């Protein structure tokens, strides 16, 4: 069988763990592939088309999982993360579980979780899909980002804030959570809108059905950037908008241990010790 490999590009520990994975995969007759443009120059890893893989394995933190999602999403290939990060909500497997995980990969013993994605479309500009969040925010220190929010084509309100975050349930534990949003079970399909440092008495997160269309229009000449899963998509000019909707395709995650969100939240945030 073939599986893909995505590594954290600058973390030495990721390379060390990759060697362990390579040795275990080789012993089990599993071939490892990296995308042609992926800088994985390790013996035992071939470069090629990830379309031939049954699973994409990421080694790093949640950022590495998001990179794996970019590569696997258009192919419909499921992702499984080995966590080397501090928290790691997206990476299910810990280092101590590598051998057991490779046994189950060899036997094709994994389940599949479908996760809603997000899509951002800049007016007269680029489009991109993401898993966690779309962030529309200021690019100048000490300057607000006035944004008019439009819901299903109807003006909703204008926010004066450092920015706005539209998160999926999966991304609710990332930037949205830091901005005061709720932690949400990733199986829920919804759009979570949270203002970042709003200059307003109203600062609650708003929750919308997944078929809503959220629009954001820049209200000044100050530069306002759009990021999809922390990757730059572009910049809005005064009066230009970006549209955020649920994605056209779900991300697929391989799951091994069947642990559900409450357990993950307890473990990752240290709530099980209270």
Domain boundaries, the chain: 2-115+250-273, 118-246
Tens-digit pLDDT profile for residues 184-214: 999 999 999 999 999 887 889 999 999 999 9
Q: How far is the C-alpha of 44 from the C-alpha of 46, rounded, in Å?
A: 7
Give the CATH superfamily of 2-115+250-273. Probable inorganic polyphosphate/atp-NAD kinase; domain 1 (3.40.50.10330)
Contact 201, 238 (CB under 8 A): no
The 10 Å Cβ neighbour count of residue 223 is 16
- Angle at alpha carbon of residue 182, lines to 177 and 183, rounded to 5°: 80
Residue 236 has which token pair? 């809005």
Q: Residue 37: its pLDDT value, please?
A: 63
Q: Residue 222: its pLDDT value, please?
A: 86
Indicate the CATH number for domain 118-246: 2.60.200.30
**Rg of the chain, C-alpha, whole Å:** 20
Question: Parallel, antiparallel, or unpaired for β 45-48 and 31-35?
Answer: parallel
Contact 45, 36 (CB under 8 A): no
DSSP code at position 39 = -
DSSP code at position 103 = H
Which segments in the chain show pLDDT lower than 50?
none
Residue 85 has which token pair? 């990060």
Q: Residue 257: its pLDDT value, please?
A: 72
Q: Is 101 exposed, middle or buried (0-12, 13-18, 19+ CB in 10 A)?
A: buried
Q: How far is the C-alpha of 171 from the C-alpha of 123, rounded, in Å?
A: 24
Q: Residue 142: its pLDDT value, please?
A: 73
Tens-digit pLDDT profile for residues 45-92: 888 888 999 999 999 989 999 999 999 999 999 999 998 877 678 988
Q: Residue 272: its pLDDT value, please?
A: 64
59-96 b/e (C-beta count within 10 Å ≥ 16 → b):
bbbbbbbbbbbbbbbeeebbbbbbbbbeebbbbbbeee
Q: What are the catalytic residues?
A: 62
Q: Residue 255: its pLDDT value, please?
A: 92
Same fold across 2-115+250-273 and 118-246: no
Which residues are bridge partners to 57 per DSSP? Answer: 5, 80
pTM over 0.75: yes
């Amino acid at each position: 069988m073939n599986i893909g490999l995505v590594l954290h590009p600058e973390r030495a520990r990721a390379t060390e763990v990759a060697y362990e994975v390579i040795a275990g995969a080789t012993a089990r007759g599993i071939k490892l592939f990296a995308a042609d443009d992926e800088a994985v120059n390790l013996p035992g890893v071939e470069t090629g088309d990830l379309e031939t893989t049954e699973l994409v394995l990421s080694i790093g933190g949640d950022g590495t999982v998001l990179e794996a999602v970019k590569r696997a999403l258009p192919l419909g290939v499921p992702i499984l993360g080995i966590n080397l990060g501090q928290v790691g909500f997206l990476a299910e497997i810990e280092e101590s579980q590598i051998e057991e995980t490779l046994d189950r990969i060899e036997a094709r013993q994994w389940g599949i979780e479908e996760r809603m994605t997000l899509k951002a479309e800049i007016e007269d500009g680029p489009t991109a899909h993401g898993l966690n969040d779309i962030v529309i925010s200021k690019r100048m220190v000490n300057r607000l980002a006035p944004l008019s929010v439009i819901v299903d084509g109807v003006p909703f309100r204008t926010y004066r804030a450092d920015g706005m975050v539209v998160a999926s349930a999966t991304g609710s534990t990332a930037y949205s959570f830091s901005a005061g949003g709720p932690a949400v079970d990733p199986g829920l399909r919804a759009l979570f809108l949270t203002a970042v440092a709003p200059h307003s008495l109203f600062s609650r997160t708003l929750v919308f059905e997944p078929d809503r269309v959220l629009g954001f229009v820049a209200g000044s000449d100050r530069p306002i950037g759009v990021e999809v899963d922390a990757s730059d998509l572009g910049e809005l000019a005064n009066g230009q908008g970006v549209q955020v909707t649920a994605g056209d395709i779900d991300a697929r995650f391989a799951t091994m241990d069947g642990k559900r969100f409450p357990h993950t939240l307890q473990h990752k945030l240290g709530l099980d010790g209270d």
